[in-house]
Structure 1
Amino acid sequence: MKKVLLATALVLSIPTLSSVQAADPQSTVRVKSQAEQNKNIVVDFYEGVFQKHEVKAYSDRYIGNQYIQHNPHVPDGKAPFVNYFTQYFKENPDAKSTIKRVVADGDLVWLHVHSTQNSKDLGTAVVDIFRVENGKIVEHWDVQQQVPKPSANKNTMF
């Protein structure tokens, strides 16, 4: 019985997120504010690069000095990113990527994107994940899946 009471007392003494928020209501605002800031950074960067094709300007503004790339087709670093996508958009001037959903949690921002090379392309469903540090994008992952012509269901990928 003593062990149960001791365990209960320990559990009850651990502050929960809501009790921390009640003690410091500004802590929640700061967390949300940072996630919102990170979302804004990533969305502005993404639209600048993948809609406007202004690769260098938006990369200079938003990519950190140390940029880790997990896409196996693009080398690490800001300059390789700029070179790769500048060439890509020269070869695919009608390419665009439309953001369908954005989620942020702390330093991570996820984008659900429909990417096409031209108006005839069904495109690719992409989930891009960015890590933001001190207002700069410092790391990127992505997962891609081609949009099929026939689908086994009536749902879209977006």
Structure 2
Amino acid sequence: MSILKSLGGASVALLLAVPVVSLAQPERDVETEEANRALVTEFYDQFFNEHETEQSSRVLAQDYIQHNPEVPDGKAPFVDYFEGYFKENPNYKSEIVRSAADGDLVWLHVHSTNGDDDRGEAVVDIFRVKQGKIVEHWDVIQSVPENAANDNTMF
């Protein structure tokens, strides 16, 4: 006996109540995505490698949302946090290994180090851009180990 027969008339109503989910992707605006990627990579290089916090932070929204639990929300608190961090860590650098954009999101795969002897960390930074401003950020950070179980690099 089929499921439809066993449910009787209730099966038709049940099937009609299930929402249709479209998996179709909206048309991409590659020009805007590339502009967002350029905005984020330029900001990132100036801010995290040149430590130009005031100049480069012009692209941060005033109500910037931060998902890293160690860094506060807002443009001014973000800048203040990293100005202090760079004073304590003047050799901090972040090499962008690869980047990608999709819609209003920009992903960076980064190798951050704090001096020549530091193996550093592998970082994936995700930024949301709205109207030419960085409005939100997430990151995932993993230390680069001395030894690995495979011959692959993290970059």
The interval holding the TM-score normalised by the smaller chain is 0.7 to 0.9
SS in 1 for 2:47: helix
Give the whole-Å Cα distance in 2 for the aligned partners of 1:155 and 1:63.
35
- What does residue 92 of structure 1 align with? 89
| Displacement after TM superposition at 1:149 (Å) | 0.2
> Could you report, residue by residue, the CA deviation over 1:90-144 in whole angstroms, capped at 9, with x for unpaired residues?
0111110000010100100000000011111100000000000000000000000
Read off the aligned partner of 1:65 and give its amino acid letter: Q
Give the whole-Å Cα distance in 1 for the aligned partners of 2:62 and 2:84.
21
Across the aligned residues of Structure 1 and Structure 2, the Cα RMSD in angstroms comes to: 1.6
- What does residue 48 of structure 1 align with? 46
Q: TM-score scaled to structure 1, two decimals?
A: 0.80
Q: Which blocks of at least 5 consecutive residues in structure 2 are unaligned?
A: 1-21
| Structure 1 ranges of 4+ moved more than 6 A | none
Answer 1 or 2: which has greater helix percent.
1
Q: Which blocks of at least 5 consecutive residues in structure 1 are unaligned?
A: 1-13, 21-26
Give the whole-Å Cα distance in 2 for the aligned partners of 1:53 and 1:152.
35
Give the whole-Å Cα distance in 2 for the aligned partners of 1:58 and 1:123.
23
> Could you report, residue by residue, the CA deviation over 1:65-114 in whole angstroms, capped at 9, with x for unpaired residues?
21000000001000111111111110111110000010100100000000
- What does residue 74 of structure 1 align with? 71
Whichever of the two has the greater Rg, that structure is 2
Work out the number of aligned pairs and report it: 133
The range that moved more, 135-144 or 48-57, is 48-57
- Answer yes or no: is the 8 Å Cα contact 2:109–2:124 preserved in 1: yes
Aligned ranges for residues 69-148 of structure 1 at < 5 Å?
69-148=66-145
Give the whole-Å Cα distance in 2 for the aligned partners of 1:94 and 1:74.
20
